[in-house]
Chain A
């Protein structure tokens, strides 16, 4: 594989919730235009780590963070860092679809509108482009002004993805985006992510190993707050270096 540019680098990251150390020294790098999967048994710190990358853990009281995380070479935890700008650059999709209870159209342009974009044509264009990228345009193009809550779970999740795409981030973080969805919706979202890979850097947490093996270029295996190993997805699934990885992959625990 050709050497790719690194978009996110992290070194020796520790995080504790109060006295409980959830991340015990994580060092991971993420390459541009690539899908990286984070796998591991539940409670091992995947979400915690993912949420560090756009500073969503800032909301939780009593969290202590050490180590270094850089996005595009910038230390995102340096004092004076613009969290709002960071989150525009590093968008996030959650496990439960969480559209705003507004129309589909409003949902998609919400970020843009608040950024001050008023021109109707620009907004219309952004809605169409984002919904197309999120592979849901054909299903909703005739009901853009209906409530996003009237859609199915899978459709809502794709609208949420479109909402993130509309702000034109560089990186998209997804935390088990399909675990609340049916298999067909999951496949649609997987295919969409493969399409998006050419433009975005994607990091996806999943507990579904088939999913990781189908769509990711690299996979990192988490266990109890540590990364056991990270490598090309094929290597992780076919001949992992570590015994724990092999045990997990072959379904011996988790």
Chain B
């Protein structure tokens, strides 16, 4: 066979593989959406769940998922930024840096069940936070931080060395160069990574089952005092999330409409994660355009 034929053959095979992946993904999404969308209604999205009767919603779980997401991002984003900037801009290449990198690598490949179990032992039991949003948010941070840090470091490293020299040669200090030249250039990548991380956190169940808990006590949405136990903002209340709810219904749900609730909840979850991905792209591009031509 001559080079041309081989080239054509290789291209065809690659297209085929890509096509198969697309088809699998599309049918998976299609299946979940077709089954779930008919069950989604305003009532479904806002009503509390029912344990024994039909007609329950996912309102509280949805809120829990969002709240947990915000809280865990509030903890992990600053940490990831600090660690990523340090690793990309300041850390010298030595044994210590090597060890930190390896640790991050290992942490980022830990199965989330293990992270959940660790959270249970440390945050729930040892620190006495109980099954709570706080325990859940800390577990999610453990789960998310390594990937976010990697993302920040990689995004910063993508910015060419030229730009650092340009900043320094202009009389900016090292820190000013990082803040005013390197980070703005890396921002689209950083934000994209953060939003994708948010999507990952939003769909996470295993790390939360034994940390944020599996119960969703009724909330009083008129009470915004975080210290009150019925307040949605109370970080020490147990909080079953959407993903955990789906897992629970499917493993031990006894509601007559369990299948429908599960299908609806799955569709909502998928839509949310899709939304995160689209947002990541749109916002990343938007910021890049804005940065590169004021």
Give me the interface of A with B, judged by CB distance under 8 Å.
54, 56, 59, 61, 84-85, 87-88, 91-92, 94, 96, 98-103, 105-106, 110-111, 114-115, 145-147, 149-150, 160, 163-164, 167
Contacts and interface: CB of A to CB of B under 8 A. Distances in A.
A105 B171 contact: no
A147 B164 CA distance: 19
Contacts of A146: 293
B180 A105 contact: no
A87 B168 contact: yes
B162 interface: yes
Query: Which of the listed residues B168, B170, B292 has the most CB atoms from chain A within 10 Å of its own CB?
Result: B170
B7 interface: no
Contact of B165 (A98, A114, A115): A98
B172 interface: yes
Given A101-B185, A102-B294, A87 B171 contact: yes
Interface in B167-219: 168-173, 176, 180-181, 184-185
B170 A167 contact: yes
B274 interface: no
B100 interface: no
A115 B164 CA distance: 17
Nearest to A99: B166
A223 B256 CA distance: 88
Given A101-B291, A102-B292, A103-B293, A94 B171 contact: no
B294 A114 contact: no
Contacts of B294: 102-103, 105-106, 145
Nearest to B164: A59
Contacts of A98: 160, 162-163, 165-166
Given A94-B162, A98-B163, A100-B181, A164 B170 contact: yes
Secondary structure of the B contact surface, majority rule: helix
Given A85-B171, A163-B170, A114 B176 contact: yes
Q: On chain B, which size bracket covers the interface?
A: 20 to 34
Nearest to A105: B294
Nearest to B185: A101
Q: Which 3 A-B pairs have the closest CB atoms?
A: A88-B171, A147-B293, A98-B162
Nearest to A85: B171
B92 interface: yes
Contacts of A110: 170, 180-181
Contacts of B169: 54, 56, 87, 91-92, 94, 164
A84 B181 contact: no
Interface in B66-87: none
Contacts of A147: 292-293
Nearest to A95: B162
Which residue among B169, B291, B293 has the maximum number of chain A CB atoms within 10 Å of its CB? B169
Contacts of B168: 56, 59, 87
A150 B293 CA distance: 9
Contacts of A84: 171-173
Given A106-B294, A110-B180, 15 more contacts: A61-B92, A84-B172, A84-B173, A87-B170, A94-B166, A98-B160, A100-B166, A101-B185, A101-B292, A102-B184, A103-B293, A114-B180, A115-B171, A147-B292, A149-B292
Given A100-B185, A103-B294, A145-B293, A111 B170 contact: yes
Given A100-B166, A101-B185, A111 B171 contact: yes
A99 B164 CA distance: 11
19 contacts: A56-B165, A56-B168, A59-B165, A59-B168, A84-B172, A87-B169, A91-B169, A94-B165, A94-B169, A99-B166, A100-B181, A102-B294, A105-B294, A111-B170, A111-B171, A145-B293, A147-B292, A149-B292, A163-B170
A150 B291 CA distance: 14
Contacts of A115: 171
A48 to B, nearest CB: 14
Contacts of A145: 293-294
Contacts of A96: 162
Contacts of B162: 94, 96, 98
A210 B293 CA distance: 37
Nearest to A54: B169
A146 B180 CA distance: 19
A27 to B, nearest CB: 25
Contacts of A61: 92
